[in-house]
């Protein structure tokens, strides 16, 4: 939620991450964004929507919006975030709708809280449309160049860290701005591994950002080391799809964006994905050559994602599994490149070809690119405030994989938060902060600032304790009002949401008045698991519908919202009661200089974590691993004493 300022009508106060920017310093832009990936795009456009002049620096202007790994958007937990980004004015959902070649709603057989949209994207079209969104915005300048260092000012206080006033580019050009957002992805001191072969770079044909790493280290920031990977790319003409399981999209696909017209959707021809499996022959080849995998030969120090391991990790960690799924996914409509999802690997090229040729349908597969692992530095995110500004480095914001996360969606969400707050900070406006009960984006940011990831952070629906409130279908109802208040979207979006809310309310009121043949109110009938909005209204004649009002001419989205609201009313009320009970803890701010060492009774582990992470509120302290309820109570008592 927006943290209100002290202006009339504000609801609450929130401290800024640091003092106001130095308005006497020279500037070329208001905000400089380093990196043209998904975080950089949303950061630049969010800041620009708030009325500031932005420079987006990309090493290669043709790679803005590049889908460097899986050409897909959304998924469990991630799809919810994409719809939230859209409700807040971001562009990821619109770009996905314009370039998607297969759309699926996941978990449709399960409850509304865990359903999530996903689409397979045309990789090249996605990059083109995303780049055009940047080029079309009059307040964003796309600058091609390699950022090699930060422009540093004087420390705000004696012994403090210097402020950041922009970036230096290779060749000597300096871009000065009061706020800088680093969205450098996997490029900080990055190296790529394929078997024994090691090359510098965060992506094929793109160099490592070593100069920036040095400046980040010089600021005294704590860094960590992580690893990610990518699978081989295969020529579709060399694949036998007839022996694979066909995986179609939804018969009636739903768009990601609330702004996409469902009647003119999908926009592109839809494609099939396919499923095949590894087998004992695949596993034998991998096991026989595991000593040549960089992770197993000790060449990689960074930790990879536990939830999306390399195929060699799967084979070694799950020796009882006789096969693993392999998803064969097209990279676009006008290309023969296939993305082989499920076999991320950094084994030597010849071993990759050997084990891939044992997989049904891939026996004659022609390799277009071998898989590889990337090892890179990240900044421990506990050093960030909940605005994604560095707590002790005025003018520097971070978003995306530099914060220890993985995934396009996580990066885009952080970019929107960082870009919004960079613009608001230089305008002396209150920050934009989402709470855990308001958005998956709020869950993600809160998770990051109270922990130091031991593996790349990925959003799951299980991370959100209030996921019944944070559904993919209601992101507009939750977040558009907040976006309008912050200035991220215009009032026309709010008017659309208000009209939707009115239609939902009228429909629920009509259902409460009407009764079935057993004299039960239709709203109570709809609460039954087997009933749907269509089933309880289909038997009503035209005259009855007309008399009841509110039940005709409804969009599928409104009908879905009515059904979910009615079925889950009791559960939603209970979650809201939990939120209300915890509201005091969430609002209770902890001074950054609180003396945990002198606080008697704290458990040793809790004291160590609290000193390291410095949680902003009592609620945040309660979510730190190793901090017990008794520890939280002691902090609360100390805060009362200080008052």
- Lowest-confidence segment of 123-132, 183-192, 249-258, 332-341 by average pLDDT: 183-192
Are β-strands 245-247 and 273-277 bridged in parallel, bridged antiparallel, or unpaired? Answer: antiparallel
Token representation of residue 147: 């950022």
Greater pLDDT, 482 or 551:
482
Q: pLDDT value at position 425?
A: 97
Q: Is 206 helix (H, G, I), strand (E, B) or coil?
A: strand
Q: Where is average pLDDT lowest: 15-19, 257-261, 446-450?
A: 15-19
54: pLDDT confidence band, cut at 50, 70 and 90?
A: very high
Residue 148 has pLDDT above 80, yes or no: yes
Q: pLDDT band at 48, cuts 50/70/90? A: very high
Under the banding of pLDDT at 50, 70 and 90, the label for residue 9 is very low
Question: Smallest Cα–Cα separation from 444: which of 82, 20, 2?
Answer: 82
Q: How far apart are CA 232 and CA 212, in angstroms?
A: 30
H or E element in which residue 164 lies: strand 162-169
- State residue 66's pLDDT score: 94
Quick one: pLDDT at residue 21? 85
Mean pLDDT across the chain: 91
Q: What is the mean pLDDT of residues 596-603?
A: 89
Residue with more model confidence, 624 or 255: 255
Per-residue confidence (pLDDT) for residue 398, from 0 to 100: 98
- At 23, is the pLDDT very low, low, confident or very high (cuts 50, 70, 90)? confident
Helices 123-136 + 92-99 axis angle, to 10? 140
Q: What's domain 588-642's architecture?
A: Orthogonal Bundle (1.10)
Predicted confidence at residue 284, as pLDDT, reads: 97
Q: What is the pLDDT of residues 240-278, one digit of tens each?
A: 999 999 999 999 999 999 999 999 999 999 999 999 999
Topology of the domain covering 36-229+376-486 = FAD/NAD(P)-binding domain (3.50.50)
pLDDT tens digits, 519-537: 999 999 999 999 999 999 9
Q: What is the pLDDT at residue 88?
A: 98
For residue 378, list its beta bridge partners: 224
User: What 8-state DSSP symbol labels residue 61?
Assistant: G
pLDDT value of position 384:
95
Count Cβ atoms below 10 Å from residue 180 Cβ, excluding itself. Answer: 28
Environment class of residue 118 by beta-carbon count within 10 Å: exposed (0-12), middle (13-18) or buried (19+)? buried
At 174, which helix (H) or strand (E)?
A: strand 174-176
Per-residue pLDDT at 305 exceeds 70: no
Average pLDDT over residues 355-380: 96
Q: Which helix H or strand E contains 419, and what residues bound it?
A: helix 408-426
User: Out of 13-22, 116-125, 578-587, which region has the weakest mean confidence (pLDDT)?
Assistant: 13-22
Kindly state the tokens that stand for 141: 């300048």
DSSP symbols for 312-356 = HHHHHH-TT----EEEEEES-SS--EEEEET----S-HHHHHHHH
pLDDT number for residue 451: 84
Mean pLDDT across 484-505: 96
Q: Check: CB of residue 459 under 8 Å from CB of residue 409.
A: yes
Specify the pLDDT at position 484.
Answer: 97
20 has pLDDT over 60: yes
pLDDT at 157: 59
Q: What is the mean pLDDT of residues 568-595?
A: 89
Distance CA 199, CA 185 (A): 17
Residue ranges of alpha helices (H) inside 110-209 are: 123-136
**What average pLDDT does range 28-56 have in this prediction?**
98
Q: For residue 616, what pLDDT band results from cuts at 50, 70 and 90?
A: confident
Is pLDDT of 8 > 60?
A: no
What are 405's two structure tokens?
């996360």
- Please answer whether residues 537 and 550 qualify as being in contact, where contact means their C-beta atoms are separated by less than 8 angstroms: no
Residue 5 has pLDDT above 50, yes or no: no
- Identify whether the C-beta of residue 582 lies closer than 8 Å to the C-beta of residue 608: no
Alpha helix ranges (H) inside 457-541: 475-486, 491-513, 522-526, 533-537
| pLDDT at residue 156, rounded to an integer | 63
pLDDT at 145: 94
Burial 273-307 (b: 16+ CB within 10 A, else e): bbbbbbeeebbebbeebbebbbbbeebbebbbbee
Average pLDDT score over residue span 300-306 = 69
Q: What sign for the dihedral angle of Cα 73, 78, 80, 82?
A: negative
For the cut 50, the answer to whether the pLDDT of residue 1 exceeds it is no
Q: Report pLDDT for 202.
A: 83
Tell me how far apart the alpha carbons of residues 588 and 570 are, in angstroms, rounded to a whole number: 29
Which residue pairs from 240-243 have beta carbons closer than 8 angstroms and sit at least 24 positions apart in sequence?
Answer: 240/360, 240/361, 240/362, 240/363, 240/364, 241/274, 241/328, 241/361, 242/361, 243/276, 243/360, 243/361
Query: Which is nearest to 620 in space by CA: 462, 442, 456, 470?
Result: 442
Q: What is the pLDDT of residue 421?
A: 98
Q: Which parts of 71-157 are beta strand (E)?
A: 72-74, 100-106, 116-121, 140-144, 147-155
Q: Which is higher by pLDDT, 505 or 295?
A: 505
Distance between CA atoms of residues 397 and 391, nearest Å? 9
The answer to whether the beta carbons of residues 121 and 267 sit under 8 Å apart is no
On whether the CB atoms of residues 91 and 261 are closer than 8 A, the answer is no
Q: What is the pLDDT of residue 12?
A: 32
Quote the CA–CA distance of 286 and 264 in Å, as a whole number: 47
Residue 274's H or E segment, with its range, is: strand 273-277
- pLDDT score recorded for residue 159: 61
CA 342 to chain centre: 21
* Local confidence band at 210 (pLDDT 50, 70, 90 cut-offs): confident
**Is residue 123 predicted with pLDDT exceeding 80?**
yes
- Residue 376's closest CA among 114, 189, 238? 189
pLDDT band at 308 (very low <50, low <70, confident <90, very high): confident
Cα gap 191→282, rounded to integer Å: 27
* Assigned token pair, 193: 């591994």
Residue 374 half-sphere exposure, CB side, CA atoms within 13 Å? Answer: 27
Q: What is the per-residue pLDDT for 6?
A: 34
> pLDDT higher for 127 or 540?
127
Query: Topology of domain 491-570, per CATH?
Result: Arc Repressor Mutant, subunit A (1.10.10)
Give the CATH fold of the 233-371 domain: Elongation Factor Tu (Ef-tu); domain 3 (2.40.30)
Q: How many residues does the chain have?
A: 643
Domain assignments of the chain as residue spans, ordered by start: 36-229+376-486, 233-371, 491-570, 588-642
| Radius of gyration of the chain, Cα coordinates, nearest whole angstrom | 26
| % pLDDT > 70, the chain | 96
- Check whether 215 has a pLDDT greater than 70: yes
92 pLDDT higher than 50: yes
């Amino acid at each position: 939620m927006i943290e209100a300022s002290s202006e009339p009508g504000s609801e609450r106060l929130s401290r800024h991450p640091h003092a106001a920017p130095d308005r006497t310093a020279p500037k070329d832009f208001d905000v400089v964004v380093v990196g043209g990936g998904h975080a950089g795009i949303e950061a630049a456009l969010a800041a620009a929507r708030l009325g500031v002049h932005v420079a987006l620096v990309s090493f290669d202007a043709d790679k803005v919006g590049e889908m460097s790994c899986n050409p897909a958007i959304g998924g469990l937990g991630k799809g919810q975030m994409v719809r939230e980004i859209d409700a807040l004015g971001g562009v990821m959902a619109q770009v996905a709708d314009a370039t998607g070649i297969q759309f699926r709603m996941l978990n449709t057989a399960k409850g509304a809280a865990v359903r999530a949209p996903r689409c397979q994207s045309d990789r090249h079209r996605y990059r083109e449309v995303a780049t055009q969104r940047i080029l079309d915005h009059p307040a964003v300048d796309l600058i091609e160049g390699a950022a090699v260092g930060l422009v540093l000012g004087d420390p705000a206080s004696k012994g403090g860290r210097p402020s950041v006033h922009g970036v230096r580019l290779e060749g000597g050009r300096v871009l000065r701005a009061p706020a800088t957002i680093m969205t450098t992805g996997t490029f900080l001191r990055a190296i790529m591994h394929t078997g024994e072969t090691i090359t510098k770079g965060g992506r094929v044909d793109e160099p490592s950002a070593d100069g920036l790493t040095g400046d980040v280290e010089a600021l005294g920031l704590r860094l960590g080391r992580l690893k990610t990977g990518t699978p081989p790319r295969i020529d579709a003409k060399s694949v036998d799809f007839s022996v694979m399981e066909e995986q179609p999209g939804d018969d009636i696909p739903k768009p990601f964006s609330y702004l996409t017209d469902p009647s003119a959707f999908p926009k592109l021809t839809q494609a099939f994905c396919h499923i095949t499996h590894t087998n004992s022959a695949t596993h034998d080849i991998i096991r026989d050559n595991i000593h040549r995998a960089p992770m197993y030969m000790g060449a990689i120090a960074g930790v990879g994602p536990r939830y999306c391991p390399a195929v060699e990790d799967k084979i070694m960690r799950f020796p009882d599994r006789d096969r693993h799924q392999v998803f064969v996914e097209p990279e676009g409509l006008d290309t023969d490149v296939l993305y082989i999802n499920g076999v991320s690997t950094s084994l030597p090229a010849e071993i990759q070809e050997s084990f891939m040729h044992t997989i049904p349908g891939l026996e004659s597969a022609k390799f277009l690119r071998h898989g590889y692992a990337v090892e890179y530095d990240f900044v421990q995110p506990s050093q960030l405030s909940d605005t994604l500004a560095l707590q002790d480095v005025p003018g520097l914001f971070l978003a995306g994989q530099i914060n220890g996360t993985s995934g396009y969606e996580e990066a885009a969400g952080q970019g929107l938060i960082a870009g919004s707050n960079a613009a608001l900070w230089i305008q002396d406006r209150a920050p934009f902060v989402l709470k855990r009960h308001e958005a998956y984006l709020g869950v993600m940011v809160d998770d990051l600032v109270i922990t130091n990831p031991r593996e790349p952070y990925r959003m799951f629906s299980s991370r959100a304790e209030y996921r019944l409130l944070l559904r993919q279908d209601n992101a507009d109802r939750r977040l558009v009002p907040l976006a309008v208040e912050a200035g991220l979207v215009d009032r026309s979006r709010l008017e659309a949401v208000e009209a939707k809310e009115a239609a939902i309310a009228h429909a629920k009121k009509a259902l409460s008045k009407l009764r079935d043949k057993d004299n039960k109110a239709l709203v109570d009938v709809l609460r039954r698991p087997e009933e749907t909005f269509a089933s309880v209204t289909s038997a009503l004649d035209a005259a009855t519908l007309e008399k009841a009002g509110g039940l005709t001419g409804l969009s599928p989205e409104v009908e879905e919202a009515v059904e979910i609201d009615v079925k889950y009313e009791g559960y939603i009320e209970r979650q809201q009661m939990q939120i209300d009970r915890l509201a005091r803890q969430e609002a209770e701010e902890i001074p950054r200089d609180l003396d945990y060492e002198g606080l008697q009774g704290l458990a040793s582990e809790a004291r160590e974590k609290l000193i390291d992470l410095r949680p902003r509120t009592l609620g945040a302290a309660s979510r730190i691993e190793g901090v017990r309820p008794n520890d939280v109570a002691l902090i609360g008592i100390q805060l009362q004493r200080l008052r």
